[in-house]
Chain A
Amino acid sequence: MTEKIVLKNIDIPGSETIEVYLSHGGYQALEKALSGFQPAELIEEVKKSGLRGRGGAGFPAGVKWGFLPKQTDKPIYLVCNADEGEPGTFKDRYIIEKDPHLLIEGIIISSYAIGAHQAYIYIRGEFVKGAGVLEKAIAEAYKKGYLGKNILNRGFDLDLCLHRGAGSYVCGEETALLESLEGNRGNPRLKPPFPASVGLFQSPTVINNVETLANIPAIVMKGAEWFAGIGKKGNTGTKIFAVSGHVNRPGVYELPLGTPLRELIYQEAGGIPEDKKLKAVMPGGSSTPVITVDEIDVDMDFDSLAALGTMLGSGAVIVMDESTCMVRTTRRLAGFYAHESCGQCTPCREGVPWMVTILERIEKGEGREEDPDLILDICDNIKGITLCPLGDAAAMPIESIVRKFREEFEDHIREGRCPSS
């Protein structure tokens, strides 16, 4: 079994308490970071580790930190994106609920590295339990002197504040998250400027995903070279895969990046119930283009999936067997994005609900021959045109399903009903 980094503690009883965390080596990385590293050296270390953002875009974390202005008279903020809302994704929840101090330690070290003295965790509103666990953990960390003034007598101050979201998917988009955190309606902002220069309260801001930050203590403890040795070149470290859908053992699996999808589904997750045939996989959450059964030998890492025209995303693997109606799946997907569209920009606000009505028609048996091409063209008119990535997130999977399962749509239209029901 491979070494675990971010889920290493989750099976230990009481893992969410600071006592258990400390007894398993917790906060030693913080001591090492504060005593042995200058902030710039830490950024360099994270760059060398090759750690890429685990929230979806896969941008190198150290490079992102490096985008902060070298000189600024404004405070620098670190914001932890814990708004885990991508359908199929339930990886950060494990860290939050089972190992909150790993996240907090990661936040403190990262804040030290980027020069932040105020950090926020923006947690998904539905994570009531997680919010409670984090509140308690933050209080414990303050009590032990890991947060607050003069941390570990090293002269570093940091306050950490937990902020609960109000149930909007788009608030996982970093600029909408910042708006929400400021107390405004969670609408994505026009970019540029990017958060590194103008972020929270108009100040330089780094926004990192929970899993990204949870990797930082191990990189500090064991070194960038050790981390870079896990996974593949350019895709280093482990990744939590949240496997759901038609598998025998749905759940979270922390495996090295580059683990083949076939291995993940058939070995780790125990294969498909009743030995049904695999039909499609969304490899990185509901926003990622689907993979067909012919493509499941792909390695689960950023670059391999990109080469296949899809994305690692959040690492949420949604498995669909042969019984799945792809028209219905697409309609459900489109419905989700139409519901969550903020409505600011035209293509997302108008185009996505249009696809919903077309897909509903096809499902009801009122599809027209031209509808599949129409959907593809609508997707083309949304992709890359919208204000924020939500439009792409809606269009990319829909386009891929219509392309790869076109005959299923045509069957629906021709027969006026779902052939598999």
Chain B
Amino acid sequence: MPKLVIDGREISVPEGTTILRAAERLGIEIPHLCYHPKLPPVGLCRLCLVEVEKNPKLQASCSTPVAEGMVIHTESERVLKARRGVLEFLMLNHPPDCTICDKAGECKPQEYVFQCGIAESRFIETKRVNPPQDFGDKLVFRVDRCILCQRCVQFCREIAGMEELGVFNRGGRSVIGTFRGKPVENKYSGNMIDICPTGAITSRDFRFKSRVWNLTMVPSICPRCSNGCNIFIEFKDNKILRIRPRDNEQVNQCWICDEGRFGHHFVNSLDRLTTPLIKNGGKLSPTSWEEALGRAAEGLGRVIANYGAESLGGIGSAWCTNEDDYVFQKFLREVVRTGNIDLGKIREEKDESYPGNDFLIQPEKAPNRRGAEEMGISPGEDCRDREGMFKEAAGGKIKAFLIIGSNPAKETGAREALAKVEFLVVQDLFLTDTAKQADVVLPAASYAEKEGSFTNFRGRVQWLNRALRPRGEARPDWKIICELANRMGGDFSYPGAQEILKEIAEKIPAYREVSLEKLRADGILISTK
């Protein structure tokens, strides 16, 4: 391990560590723009230059490996002069439009210019205008704000695996553009919004919606597939405005896919259910929780009383948290006393023809299939699975369903079967085809509106924090089930999802190591079967 001195402080780092990384370990941030920890260093911006004693030239700290005995200065007069010079060059042709730039507050050059205290411009010439470039539907590219760090070009090549961007022309006329006017189509393109150090690449979805410093950030887990990418939900006025990746080396490094980034609008949708609904005279109409839960308990109770517990089926959800599903199956097994439990159908999609590097997206389009199964969302001994339940419902043996977070009415056979049952309770975010057939519809909270955990396809259990107040009167699924259970003779008194998690850790062997603390950090990999 080479030993070196940075700004008077001694440090030993492994062979091959760059100066920039070594400085980071000492808490010294050397300003840099083109360097990104997940991309190979290219040394283009020249901002990270530092003074290495005995070396006549300043060295690019992003690409220069440390050597034994190096003495490095990151704030010497020479370094600061060069740094100011580079920043001045970068700002020459950069528009002073921070007031309307989405990147303001997160813009690296803005921060560095502020740090260096460059107040006045020595540039009195006309700013250069290069031809505009179109990046397609998701990204807005502003050529004048681009500082040509080429992070985006590198991202496409190295991470997304689709060479979609290049540098065209040369010298001061250099522009980043797509090939032959093709739009950017890789499934990870939104990451370029994050890694662009300026406002050159912004999000068409988010732009002009808010100043970033007015957003509240809450750590959560992406629900769009079973990979469990770590995200920040960023919101204002109880509305999600954007989703950004949250670092987790074990899962998604610092990336997320476009589906996860831009696919959050369902949470804010005006079509969300906001109150419970009950069917009166064949029509669903809004009602109070009290009445809806009463009606649900009564209806399910009647079916059990008349036909026995085995006449009731429960469909759990891979979209719900472990806590939701745990309480759901506990209710069915311990209160209703049926093992007719299975998981709603999950959409599977694998794009074999995708030319890029599909490194995060899992074919399973739900966040918690594995967790749901491990919570016990699977048929008990001699009990019916999903298909069996619908077959028996069609045959008249199963008389009632409690369905949370899935829409079987879309499946052939299931729709007819559901039409035959005497009583149907559905918990969902939307008035799905299944909900439309229900006697009682209970509005559920989305992933952004509740706490809980998801287990990704690899078995990593991770924690979701509540970001938003639930839409309208919607409630977390586990809470609804508890209310229902208590009305049907159960005693489910969990103060919150955290207490359910504790019970999961006690009851389910694979989850014995699980604790809120660990889940809130990087998550925990449960012991595999």
Interface centre among A344, A347, A357, A387 (most CB of B within 10 A): A344
Complex alpha-carbon distance, A345 and B49, angstroms: 12
Instruction: State whether A353 touches B128 (Cβ < 8 A).
Output: yes
Complex alpha-carbon distance, A69 and B348, angstroms: 53
Complex alpha-carbon distance, A352 and B173, angstroms: 12
A386 to chain B, nearest CB (A): 7
The contact string, 1 if C-beta is below 8 Å from chain A, for chain B 77-116, is: 0000110011011101100000000000000000000000
Instruction: State whether A349 touches B172 (Cβ < 8 A).
Output: yes
The contact string, 1 if C-beta is below 8 Å from chain B, for chain A 347-381, is: 10111111001100100000010000010010011
Interface check B122, CB cutoff 8 A: yes
Residues of A within 8 A of B49 (CB): 385
A193 to chain B, nearest CB (A): 10
A348 to chain B, nearest CB (A): 8
Interface check B271, CB cutoff 8 A: no
Interface check A339, CB cutoff 8 A: yes
* 9-residue interface stretch from B57-65, B68-76, B329-337, B382-390: B57-65
Contact partner of A384 (CB less than 8 A), chosen from B57, B122, B123, is B57
Residues of B within 8 A of A386 (CB): 46
Interface check A208, CB cutoff 8 A: no
Interface check A34, CB cutoff 8 A: no
Residues of B within 8 A of A377 (CB): 85
Instruction: State whether B85 touches A347 (Cβ < 8 A).
Output: yes
B58 to chain A, nearest CB (A): 6
Residues of A within 8 A of B56 (CB): 384
Instruction: State whether A353 touches B171 (Cβ < 8 A).
Output: yes
Q: Taking A338-B171, A339-B171, A357-B125 as contacts, is the C-beta distance between A344 and B44 under 8 angstroms?
A: yes
Instruction: State whether B89 touches A342 (Cβ < 8 A).
Output: no
Residues of B within 8 A of A349 (CB): 89, 148, 171-172, 174
Residues of A within 8 A of B123 (CB): 354
Contact partner of A350 (CB less than 8 A), chosen from B58, B150, B172, is B172
Instruction: State whether A374 touches B122 (Cβ < 8 A).
Output: yes
Interface check A343, CB cutoff 8 A: yes
Contact partner of B172 (CB less than 8 A), chosen from A353, A385, A387, is A353
Complex alpha-carbon distance, A19 and B179, angstroms: 51
Instruction: State whether B171 touches A381 (Cβ < 8 A).
Output: no
B320 to chain A, nearest CB (A): 50
Instruction: State whether B58 touches A384 (Cβ < 8 A).
Output: yes
Interface check B43, CB cutoff 8 A: yes
Interface check A323, CB cutoff 8 A: no
Instruction: State whether B45 touches A345 (Cβ < 8 A).
Output: yes
Instruction: State whether A190 touches B148 (Cβ < 8 A).
Output: no
Contact partner of A347 (CB less than 8 A), chosen from B41, B46, B57, is B46
Interface check A35, CB cutoff 8 A: no
Mark out the residues of chain B between 31 and 59 whose CB falls within 8 Å of any chain A CB in the assembled complex.
Answer: 41-47, 49, 56-58
Sample (28) of A-B pairs whose CB atoms are under 8 Å apart: A190-B60, A190-B63, A341-B171, A342-B170, A342-B171, A343-B148, A343-B167, A343-B169, A343-B174, A344-B148, A344-B150, A344-B167, A345-B45, A346-B45, A346-B86, A346-B89, A347-B85, A349-B174, A350-B93, A352-B171, A353-B172, A374-B122, A377-B85, A381-B86, A382-B85, A385-B58, A385-B82, A387-B43
Known: A343-B173, A381-B82. 20 other contacts (CB 8 A): A185-B167, A190-B41, A343-B170, A343-B171, A345-B46, A346-B148, A349-B171, A350-B89, A350-B92, A350-B93, A350-B172, A352-B172, A353-B128, A354-B125, A358-B125, A380-B81, A380-B85, A381-B85, A382-B85, A385-B58
Residues of A participating in the B interface, judged by any CB pair closer than 8 Å: 185, 190, 338-347, 349-354, 357-358, 361, 368, 374, 377, 380-382, 384-387
